[in-house]
Structure 1
Amino acid sequence: MPSPQRARAQASAISSGKPVPEAEAAPTSRLRALFDGPRLSPGQRRIAQYLIEHITEAAFLSITELADRVGVSQPSVTRFATAVGFSGYPALRERLQSIALSTLASAPDAAEETRPNELQAAVDAEIDNLENLRRDFADPEQVIEAGRALSQSTPLTVLGLRISGSLAEYFAYAARRIHPDVRLVTRGGSVAYDALLQSREAGGSWVLAFSMPRHAHETLTALRVARRAGLRVALITDLALGPLADEADVVFASGTGSRLVFDSYAAPGVMSAALLQAMTDADPERTQARLDEYEQGAEQHAFFLKD
């Protein structure tokens, strides 16, 4: 049996959008084989039935969205994933996505000109993630408060390990334009511990951490070190629940695009930009002074091409 990521790679292979041969087993049969073995509680059976009936949509829901659709709690979804043999909901979702993608690829009677190909479907999924984020921003108070706290933390540590490093680098690069002391940590282990402890000793009060799937043990350990050192933690991740969220003072959950073999991060990127905006708004005088100083240096040293 291929690994979940290999299955995703096979299922999301780019094509012209034409129907492909049907999978060996019907999706319903594959799902029932997945769910029929374990002894499930009534609530877990409701989750299983919903997934069977709505696989092409349900496979791409966050744990919060799936719990809301079925009418159960988020911990119930996590327990269901464990009951059917997975380490947690992200691992179950990977398997469901491979089934859903093969279902979409083999759907009959789809008009070539209207049926989205794999790349279009990936964009559609990211649009859904952004729509969810837009709804979350209806009440921006949490973002405003977090931006104010991050702005006041000097130094401010930004942590992102493994694949989350790119998001952390983007945030740190921009934050340095408006904040006097931003410290980027993209290496785990003792290097991260040293950086976190030094940040606290230097007067820092907050660390902003990024953790995208697959969530790393070393990120969890680093957050625990930060908390023990007395740092508060703001976390941008894809799940509002779980061991990483348990170590955070504030969590911003932003869905990741998982229709292709490697995830995409449209919503976490916008979430990062929103926090940067909140930081600039928290201290407008400092922001303006630092941006003016940067522009003078950029002009003096010709950093950029003339438009």
Structure 2
Amino acid sequence: MTRDILSIIQERMPTLSKGQRRVAQFILDAYDKAAFMTASRLGETVQVSESTVVRFAAELGCGGYPNMQRALQEMVRSKLTSIQRIEVANDRLSGQDVLSTVMQADMELIRATLTEVDRERFSRAVDAILAARHIYILGLRSSAALADFLGFYFQMIFDNVQVVHTSSSGEIFEQLLRVGPEDVVIGLSFPRYSSRTVQALRFARDRGAGVVALTDSETSPLAETATELLLAQSDMASFVDSLVAPLSLVNALIVAVGRRRNEDVEQTFAGLERIWSEYEVYEPAGGNETP
């Protein structure tokens, strides 16, 4: 939804039924918690039926409860502090098996990403990366793990890759100093979005570089800088960011690029296998123990 959903709820309040007004008031008072409740859980909390909650979402013009929930989540996820995340997660996981709940949620995020990812954008991103004079990869805070993973494999495919590592904003711009129109910067950030990542992508865009942004929503601050936008669903599990779906998208990007450079990749890994064997980089299968 393009408008703030809380404003819509306030506008519609006079036209709602008594039960729907109870749902509406709870959302207005505690939208950070409501955003991550199922329709059943929200109904139990305000003592109305699940069908009342579903009808309430339809009354708002959301097209169903999942769409209303997603609108709330997009609005609040980037604003929650770590303490608020813990409080929301404790409420979501109360009485639940943590292992099953978290892994089932991750599975749903991958399914949603697969359904919603734009194949044309993905193909254009692959083309841009393959054509780039220089490839910069930038992901800070929790997204640094994604950037390092992508960089690890891209550096085996290309000889023109730089993973931007930094501890201060000045260092970012120093490493991007020579970025230009023939280059591509791949930026990764998910809620809570890194302001330094957003600033760096704007810097690259202003200098004519292609910007491939991996983030979670069209409303993400990375989206406005992107020449190619790749979306992957993310969520939070307590204070922890769930980056399972973004990592799956990164995997797909690596494989797609690798297939386009198949002959070079085979030669590279043939050489690496010889080096790994000679210098015993990996432990042999079954270990070295003799029977």
| TM-score over 0.5 for the pair | yes
1:263 is paired with a residue whose SS is: strand
1:219 shift after superposition: 1.2
How far the C-alpha of 1:40 sits from its partner, in A, is 2.3
Give me the whole-angstrom Cα distance separating, in 1, the residues matched to 2:218 and 2:25: 22
Structure 1 residue 278: deviation in Å? 1.3
Match of 2:152 in 1: 173
Equivalent position amino acid for 2:252 in 1? A
Preserved contact between residue 148 and residue 282 of structure 1 (Cα < 8 Å) = no
Kindly provide the CA deviation profile for residues 33-60 of structure 1, in whole angstroms up to 9, marking residues without a partner as x. xx999982339x899749859962279x
Q: Which residue of 1 aligns with 2:79?
A: 91
Q: How many angstroms apart in 1 are the aligned matches of 2:109 and 2:152?
A: 24
Partner residue of 1:127?
107
Is the contact made by 2:169 and 2:196 (CA closer than 8 Å) also made in structure 1? yes
Which runs of 5 or more residues in structure 1 are unaligned? 1-34, 60-65, 82-87, 107-115
Distance in 1, Cα, partners of 2:243 & 2:142: 11
Q: Which residue of 1 aligns with 2:12?
A: 42
Preserved contact between residue 67 and residue 73 of structure 1 (Cα < 8 Å): yes
Residue 182 (structure 1) aligns with: 161
CA positional deviation for 1:250: 1.6
Distance 1:122 1:166 in 2: 20
For residue 292 of structure 1, report the CA deviation from its aligned partner: 2.2
CA, structure 1 residues 155+123, in 2 after alignment: closer, same or farther (shift >3 Å)? Answer: same
Q: How far apart are the structure 2 equivalents of 1:141 and 1:239?
A: 17
Query: Are positions 1:193 and 2:173 aligned together?
Result: yes
Q: How does 1:18-29 map onto structure 2 within 5 Å?
A: none
- Aligned AA (1:42): R
Q: Aligned partners of 2:220, 2:150: CA distance in 1, in Å?
A: 24
Are 2:138 and 2:163, in contact at CA under 8 Å, matched by a contact in 1?
yes
Amino acid at match of 2:272: Y
> Residue in 2 aligned with 1:105?
94
Partner AA of 2:122 in structure 1: V
Residues 1:154 and 1:302: Cα distance change in structure 2 (over 3 Å): farther
Q: Could you say which residue in structure 2 is the equivalent of 1:275?
A: 253
Residue 224 of structure 1, aligned match among 198, 202, 212:
202
Change in 2 beyond 3 A, CA 1:270/1:39:
closer
Q: Report the equivalent of 1:210.
A: 188
Q: Distance in 2 between matches of 1:197 and 1:292?
A: 35
Tell me the C-alpha RMSD between the 2 structures: 3.9
Q: TM-score, normalised by structure 2?
A: 0.70
Contact 2:77 2:191 in 1 (8 A): no
Identity of matched residues, %: 21
Aligned to 2:38: 57
Residue deviations 1:196-248 (CA, integer Å, cap 9, x gap):
22243xx7521111102221211111111111121111111122213221111
Which whole-Å CA distance do the structure 2 matches of 1:261 and 1:96 have between them?
5
1:153 aligns with 2:119: no
State the TM-score, normalizing by the size of structure 1: 0.67
The residue number in structure 2 matching 1:69 is: 64
Number of aligned residue pairs: give it. 247
Partners of 1:210 and 1:229 in 2: CA distance = 19
Between 1 and 2, higher relative CO (CA 8 Å, sep ≥ 6) is seen in: 1
CA drift of 1:277 comes to 1.0
2-side partners of 1:90 and 1:245: how far apart?
Answer: 14
1:242 aligns with 2:223: no
Shift, 1:255, TM fit: 1.9
**Whole-Å separation in 2 of the counterparts to 1:51 and 1:141:** 41
**Large movers: runs of 4+ above 3 Å:** 35-39, 45-55, 66-74, 92-101
C-alpha change, 1:50 and 1:267, in structure 2 (3 Å) is farther
Structure 1 CA distance, aligned partners of 2:221 and 2:188? 14
